[in-house]
Structures are given as C-alpha cells and as structure tokens.
Copies of this chain bind each other. A is one copy, B any other.
C-alpha cells in the first residue's frame, strides 16, 4: 500500500509538472539540456562514486563481466552521454509546429498542431545511461518522464536523475517533471502500469520477457519492441557484388543488436554459384551457417536447421540460410518468421524491388541496403527512444516527433454549423 501510494503520488506530480513543460519555449528547453551537459561533466566524479556502489554490489551478486560492463559509467560513457545531450539540443523542436492548414467550406481555418504526449514512463534494464538519453529526449519533446531502471543500477540512476532535476530547477522549472522510482520492489512496476490517469505512454526497454510483462499488465499504451528477426533476400536478379557487403555488414557489424541479420534467403537460380563464395566470407568472419537441406547440398559445412531455428533472434554470429524458388516464397517466409522489424531485398529488377517495398510488412523495408540502417539516426530522426514493431502511433524508430501527437486548431471568425 505504501508503494502504491508513492507511485500514484509520483505519477500525479509528474503530470502536474508536465503541463509546465508542455508550453516551454525551445530556448528554455535547450537551456535545461545545456545545463544537463554541464552538470554531467562537473559532477562526474560524484556520480561515478554512486556507480561504484552498484558495481561493487553487482560483483558481489556475481553479475557477468558483460553485465558489469553495461553497468559501468566510465569516462567514455560520460562523453557519449554529453554528446547525446548536445545532439538533442541540435534537433528541431516538433512542439507547436502547425501542419495541414486549410480553409474549410464553412469558412473556418483548420490546422494540426504538434503537442507533447504528456507523461512518458520508461522501464529499462541495466545501462544507466538510458536515464539521461531517454529523459533528455522526453524533455525536449515537452513531456514529463518517470524513470524505472534496473535494480542493479539504482544508485547510478538516482544520481543521474538528480542532475536532470537540478537542471530543471536552475532554469526555474518545476523539477517534478523528472521522477525516478527509487525502489527496487518489482511491485512498483505493476502500480506504475496502472496510472492511466497520469501516464500517457509506457516504453519498456529490455528483453522480450520485460516487454511482454509490461504489455500484458498495462492499461496504458505501450511502445512494443519485441525482437528483431531481420532478413536479407538475395533475388535471382541480384547484383552479387552488392549482396556480399550488405549481408556481411548486416550480420557481422554488430551481431548483438536488433537490426542485425538473422536469416538469409537466396533465390535458387543464384544459390549454387553464389553460396560457396559467400561461405568463404562467413568462415573468415566466424559466421556459423545453419541451412535448409538445399543449402547443405551446396555448402555441406552448414549445420542442419531445425524447425525452431527459423525465426530465431540469434544475437550472435549464427545465421539461418534458406533457398527459395521465388520472391513470393521469400515474402511468405518473411511473413511467417519475420518480426516486422527490418527486411531487405537485393535485386536489380525494378518491378521486384517495388513489389517487395510495397508488400512486405515491416517497420523498415529496404532495397540494396544493410539492415543496420534501421536506426533513428541513420533514417534521419536524430536520436531514437526505441523501435516500435507494432503499428499503432508509430512503426519503426521513434524520435522526437514520435514523442508528440497532434491536436486540431480552429481559427474562426464567428462561424456556426449549419
């Protein structure tokens, strides 16, 4: 009950403060962000001391080296946080932008004005730098933000949130606009998910388990990003000189991320002469081939794919390979095993390319480009707060604009309706 009350109170406070944030000028918001960048540098040592507490506790609890690495607020992480803040300062402010202005037959003039969503709650695991990255984007879009990071990063998150509140306060703005849930009690998340009167959007960032838990327990809209099972389809009309760098970049540049390649589809007409040379590249780069029988008849070194391998998000150097008879079969495979994240075709055929672009259902559909381009920065949104793989509100990377919505504004001169 104490926690329920605390969460309710916290959500209400952010909501109140978000009304002030919604009407701030761009200059005022950028001034807050500048102060965040300055404070990050001037209070670095203090924050790192708090981070040490989390690291020590993490070591005692036996966290893996990889987990500890993600938890550490090193000097390099500080630099990247400051760079991130400065990048957001440079992004155009979507709030107040009016589009689609038109005069209606009644004589009223109608437009659509971008406004903040209100209050965004972030629920995330590990990496404490998300506290800064996410909050800064929410603030620039005029939203209040509730932060609930991983319990192993609690001290770090509280210290980072204090910076944000200090920067708001220094600019004469209600610091309640940023709140951090300072308990590791998991019930806090459940209560947070019930504050539909105060919170407008929940963004979970973490494993599929977290996202499923959040979306099944929330009455508030949730930005869902389940997983990235991305494919490259090498068409019969592919330029194979383009295919190899696209496949290798998609698979190996950063295998552990959501826009990395997990499944390769190759048209039967090119498979027998293309796959052997590709297999050499794979071997050089440590990629493990897991293939269909037709693949294995060409490349016997490939492991035999089991049914459950298709559609797996490996996040490693494993790669499923299937030979298909047509672009239709490729599209059917993608529809069955894809995750609506990123799908690429390699082809020189104009009609096949246009057909693939129009008919494949994914947040980003590409021709002759690496799947790794599905990223807010690469696609031109600036920093992103996540990638939505469901279609409501936003499909694909969410930047500043996706943290806003539009209301109708009507300029009349006394009109009434007939």
Q: Which of B22, B359, B366 contacts A412 (CB 8 A)?
A: B366
Q: Which of B363, B407, B411, B414 contacts A362 (CB 8 A)?
A: B407
Residue in chain B with minimal CB distance to A254: B417
For window 352-375 of chain A, which residues contact chain B by CB distance below 8 Å? 357-359, 361-370, 372-374
How many residues on A have C-beta within 8 angstroms of the other chain's C-beta atoms?
70
| Interface residue? A124 (CB, 8 A) | no
Tell me which residues across on chain B come within 8 A of A183, comparing CB atoms. Answer: none
> Once the chains are docked, how many angstroms separate the CA of A407 from the CA of B338?
15
Residue pair B391, A405 in contact (C-beta under 8 Å): yes
| Interface residue? A253 (CB, 8 A) | yes
Q: Which of B104, B248, B365, B373 contacts A106 (CB 8 A)?
A: B373
> Once the chains are docked, how many angstroms separate the CA of A110 from the CA of B405?
22
Residue pair B417, A407 in contact (C-beta under 8 Å): no
| Interface residue? A326 (CB, 8 A) | no
Residue pair B392, A201 in contact (C-beta under 8 Å): yes
* Binding stretch for chain B, among A26-34, A62-70, A113-121: A113-121
Residue pair B396, A407 in contact (C-beta under 8 Å): yes
CB distance from A253 to the nearest CB of B (A): 6
> Once the chains are docked, how many angstroms separate the CA of A395 from the CA of B407?
6
- Known A215-B219, A249-B416, A358-B23: A200·B392 in contact at CB below 8 Å: yes
Residue in chain B with minimal CB distance to A246: B416
Q: Which of B245, B366, B391, B408 contacts A379 (CB 8 A)?
A: B408
| Interface residue? A12 (CB, 8 A) | no
Tell me which residues across on chain B come within 8 A of A369, comparing CB atoms. Answer: 108, 410-412, 414-416
Residue pair A219, B216 in contact (C-beta under 8 Å): yes
Q: Which of B118, B335, B397 contacts A19 (CB 8 A)?
A: B335
| Interface residue? A380 (CB, 8 A) | yes
Q: Which of B23, B253, B379 contacts A359 (CB 8 A)?
A: B23
Tell me which residues across on chain B come within 8 A of A415, comparing CB atoms. Answer: 368-370, 373
> Once the chains are docked, how many angstroms separate the CA of A407 from the CA of B391?
9
For window 368-396 of chain A, which residues contact chain B by CB distance below 8 Å? 368-370, 372-374, 378-380, 390-396
Residue pair B407, A364 in contact (C-beta under 8 Å): yes
- Known A117-B391, A391-B117, A393-B392: A374·B408 in contact at CB below 8 Å: yes
| Interface residue? A208 (CB, 8 A) | no
Residue in chain B with minimal CB distance to A411: B367
Tell me which residues across on chain B come within 8 A of A390, comparing CB atoms. Answer: 200, 221
Tell me which residues across on chain B come within 8 A of A102, comparing CB atoms. Answer: 380
For window 215-248 of chain A, which residues contact chain B by CB distance below 8 Å? 215-216, 219, 221, 239, 241-242, 245-246, 248
Tell me which residues across on chain B come within 8 A of A246, comparing CB atoms. Answer: 414, 416
| Interface residue? A96 (CB, 8 A) | yes
| Interface residue? A409 (CB, 8 A) | yes
| Interface residue? A406 (CB, 8 A) | yes
Q: Which of B395, B408, B411 contacts A405 (CB 8 A)?
A: B395
10 CB-based A-B contacts, threshold 8 Å: A19-B335, A110-B379, A110-B380, A245-B416, A365-B409, A366-B410, A369-B411, A369-B415, A370-B416, A395-B406
